[in-house]
Chain A
């Protein structure tokens, strides 16, 4: 008999009655490639939370999610080595986040350097290729550039601030189905 449901598993006697701490599996069960349903469930849940937050808090939702992301960025990046060079810090961050997000430092064809100085501000363009936020939003039919995107912005800003010790701000330039263009403004 297939042990798909809890009653079926109990009937088959495979569910242990006593669960000791050493019984806790050290690897992902089932294997990650069988977790597609779980992934979709999580994406739906995330989308739902963000939608509800927007309904209740309105534009304040952006501030909440940005703050959460920034705090998390600071928390995570405090264990990393400090780098003054922003370009190098971004490359390091891209390496660390690989698998969740693929970040590329990008420059328009007419620019020589990645760090661009225009109208008194210094900034770097970032292209986000693989992004779980985009996937979640598209999975739920929600527009890009909302509160969930701001969580990620906050995360990147927090991490960069922590690694480089410089204040930063992120701006959405463009959101697309395959990649998004962001501007990291250095202060």
Chain B
């Protein structure tokens, strides 16, 4: 079962998550998106990616394999950080 949390302090109310969700999981209420149909969420994480404030948190999502991370760039970043 997927669980979605919206950080109301971080959210800037842009509504991009509401527009982007294909299953209309979110509804805008007083400039804050509220996940009203969480049972319809398929865990694509588009809202997560599109959110400019990184205000969304998903739990219980099946994480897909990610082989596309550029290992060379990561190695360089690790050295810098």
**B-contacting residues of A (Cβ < 8 Å)?**
36-37, 39-40, 43, 102, 106, 108-110, 127, 129-132, 134-136, 138-139, 173-181
Give 1 or 0 for each of B47-72: 1 = CB within 8 Å of chain A CB: 01100000000000111111110110
At the interface, is chain B mostly helix, strand, loop or mixed?
loop
Give chain A nearest CB distance to B51 CB in angstroms.
12
Residues of B with C-beta under 8 A to A36: 67, 71
B10 at interface by CB-CB < 8 Å: no
Are A135 and B66 in touch, CB under 8 angstroms? yes
Evaluate whether A135 and B67 lie within 8 angstroms (CB atoms) in the complex, with A173-B22, A177-B46, A179-B45 already known.
yes
Within 8 A of A (CB), among B10-33: 22-23
> Could you list 24 A-B pairs, sorted by A, with CB under 8 Å?
A36-B71, A39-B67, A40-B70, A108-B40, A129-B64, A130-B65, A132-B67, A134-B64, A139-B67, A139-B68, A139-B70, A173-B22, A174-B22, A175-B44, A175-B46, A177-B45, A178-B44, A178-B45, A178-B48, A178-B61, A178-B63, A179-B42, A179-B43, A179-B45
Q: Are the CB atoms of B44 and A176 closer together than 8 Å?
A: yes
Closest chain B CB from A41 CB (angstroms):
12
Interface pair A181/B68, CB less than 8 Å apart: no
In the bound complex, do residue B70 and residue A180 qualify as a contact, i.e. CB atoms below 8 Å apart? no
CB within 8 Å of A: which residues of B?
Answer: 22-23, 37, 39-40, 42-46, 48-49, 61-68, 70-71
Number of A-B residue pairs at CB separation under 8 A: 71
Q: From DSSP, what is the main secondary structure of chain A's interface residues?
A: mixed
Give the nearest-CB partner of B71 in chain A.
A36
Which residues of chain A are within 8 angstroms of B61 by Cβ–Cβ distance? 178
Contacts of B48 in A (CB 8 A): 177-178
Bound-state CA distance A110–B64 (Å) is 25
| B43 surroundings in chain A (CB, below 8 A) | 127, 129, 178-179
In the assembled complex, the CB of A133 is this many whole angstroms from the nearest CB of chain B, namely 11
Given A129-B62, A135-B65, residue A177 in contact with residue B49 (CB < 8 A): yes
Distance of A135 from chain B, by nearest CB (Å): 4
Whether A40 touches B44, Cβ cut-off 8 Å, given contacts A129-B62, A178-B61, is no
Chain B residues whose C-beta falls within 8 Å of the C-beta of A175 in the assembled complex: 44, 46
Q: State in angstroms the CA–CA spacing of A82 and B22 once bound together.
A: 33
Contacts of B64 in A (CB 8 A): 102, 129-131, 134, 178-179
Q: Report Cα–Cα, A148/B36, bound state, in Å.
A: 34
Instruction: Tell me, in angstroms, the Cα distance from A164 to B8 when the chains sit together.
Output: 49
